[in-house]
Amino acid sequence: MRLDDLPESGNVEDRREEGGFGGGGGGFGLPIGGGGLSIGAIVALGLIGWALGIDPSLLIGGAEILTGPSQPKVQAPPTARRTTGAPQDDMGRFVSKVLGSTELQWKQVFAKDGKTYRPPVLVLYRGATHASCGGAAQSAMGPFYCPADQKVYLDTSFFDQIATRFRGCDVGSRTCQFS
């Protein structure tokens, strides 16, 4: 997938340099038409739709997006290494461009229904980080949306697994198209 002409999203919080920690917790699915798709799944469907040239609302059946009751907010531990905005490394820029393309697509989908799309912040982390939805966001959870802080969490060690375990391309190598 070529992303040369796509804008980078500024809705990225980079926590990859923070130390991970143990603990429990979980992501909450976003109910769609009684289903239970997470925001991560919605973003994935948006990417699939974008890649195939399909309107993403068709992939989710045009269902209304309903939000559940708000969760209590938990303050994240302070850190000096946390940054916001478009990341400057190859992996971060790739993710930021994919996010930017989904933001554009969902803005158009919502506008068709006379609604305003509020893009979530994407949190990049490695191993584990703090999330307001019960404590720790961990690698084994996969990408998920936390309604308490309105953020999507993505463990970027996933890209390492693609490169090593599944023999995919290495982020930033010349065989991958990240710019």
Q: Mean of the pLDDT values across residues 12-38?
A: 55
Highest mean pLDDT among 7-11, 44-48, 137-141, 171-175: 7-11
- Mean pLDDT (whole number) for 122-134: 85
Rounded average pLDDT over 140-162: 83
What mean pLDDT is reported for the chain? 69
pLDDT digit string (tens) for 55-78?
Answer: 655 555 443 343 343 343 334 444
Burial (0-12, 13-18, 19+ Cβ within 10 Å), 15: buried
Higher model confidence: residue 108 or residue 33? 108
Rounded to an integer, the average pLDDT of 85-90 is 66
Quick check: 90 pLDDT over 60?
A: yes
Is residue 135's pLDDT more than 90?
no
- Backbone phi, psi, residue 165, to 5°: -70, -40
pLDDT computed for residue 107 by the predictor = 95
53: which residues sit within 8 A by CB, 6+ positions away? none
**In this predicted structure, what is the pLDDT of residue 114?**
96
Band of pLDDT at residue 50, cut at 50, 70 and 90: low
pLDDT of residue 103: 93
Say what the pLDDT of residue 27 is.
38
Q: Residue 18: pLDDT band by 50, 70, 90 thresholds? A: confident
